[in-house]
Copies of this chain bind each other. A is one copy, B any other.
Amino acid sequence: MSQPINIAVIGATSNVGEALVELLEEREFPVQDLHLLASSESAGQSLSFRGRQVRVRSLDAFDFAQVQLAFFAAGAEVTRTCRERVLAAGCSLIDLSAALSLDQAPCVLPERGAEGLPALTRPWCVSAPTPSAVACALVLATLKPVLQPQRLQVTAMLSISTLGRSGVQELARQTAELLNGRPLESKTVDRQIAFNLLAQVGAVDDQGHAQLEVRLAAELQQLLGLPALPVAATCALVPVFFGDSLAVGVQSGADIDVLAVQQLLEAEQGIELVEAGDYPTAVGDAVGQDQVYVGRVRRGVSDPRQLNLWIASDNVRKGAALNAVQIAELLIKHYL
């Protein structure tokens, strides 16, 4: 593999940050020195890496000239604040916080390999797509030979870990309060998420779209190389701790050949196709796995040009951390 490099992980104590550190070890990523960084409140904790404890240090004083590559897995504000400082120090950057525009930081689907790579010069700056975009784009890119997408509709049923650790704690706390007949208090989300669905993640723009939906549409268009593809996206929060579920409908220019679709999905290494009759679930199948699970492959009930799929994916592991590491593996081969 490539020459070892020095790496920084920002937001190391977040769900995604911890998963990143695990995966850098598990995949034997060529790390020379690993620097774990976080806000000053989280500094002082430590994470295990290759059998030793690495202390998490404060981001503020860190000199990015010491590292060649930084993963940003903290909030969007952190990436925006640090971006110039990181690039000025000659360090390349993979952002997992959807903080940067896709012009500033194009997004990359590692499974497409060199084919899908944008032109980059060092130090480069790329976006790891949002977890739903990763899962959906991987499936649709795989189906490119047999689909002529005219329109795309995605209902993304996102687990509460989309909001990070505080979201996970909120669902657990609300559920326990309800089961114990105690009055419900909402903190991280603005209303009851236990045994309920929330139709909207964050604020909406004047067109009624949540930022996550706009981002998902733009990322899918870029990753699929179809900048004019009409995309309708609904992102909702569901009372699930980990693992996203997507109901995806693609309207194609011709009747769907379900068998050909199944064969392509079966052949792609990053996808686990669940046979007809059975179906994948976020918790039962996808969580903890590197693959994206696909099932319920069928046409529309009365629409032969519509392909419908159910996708389940681990939003923290495959959707964020693994995908970012796979992007890094691809990019250091070509650009570092």
The SS class assigned to the A binding surface is mixed
Contact string against B for A residues 281-301, beta-carbon threshold 8 Å, 1 for contact and 0 otherwise: 111100000000001111111
Residue of B nearest to A198 (CB): B281
Interface size on A, residues (CB 8 A): 66
From residue A181, how far is it (CB to closest CB) to chain B in Å?
12
> 7 additional contacts, CB 8 Å, given A153-B249, A230-B306, A232-B249?
A157-B236, A199-B280, A204-B277, A204-B296, A232-B303, A232-B308, A236-B247
Cβ of A53 within 8 Å of any chain B Cβ, yes or no, is no
**Cα(A209)–Cα(B303), bound, Å:** 12
> How often does this chain occur in the complex, in copies?
2
Out of B153, B238, B284, B299, name the residue touching A238 (CB < 8 Å).
Answer: B238
CB pairs A–B below 8 angstroms (7 shown): A197-B281, A197-B282, A198-B279, A214-B301, A230-B302, A234-B308, A249-B249
**Cα(A303)–Cα(B220), bound, Å:** 14
Most chain B CB atoms below 10 A, which of A217, A232, A299: A232
From residue A119, how far is it (CB to closest CB) to chain B in Å?
25
B209→A310 contact, CB < 8 A: no
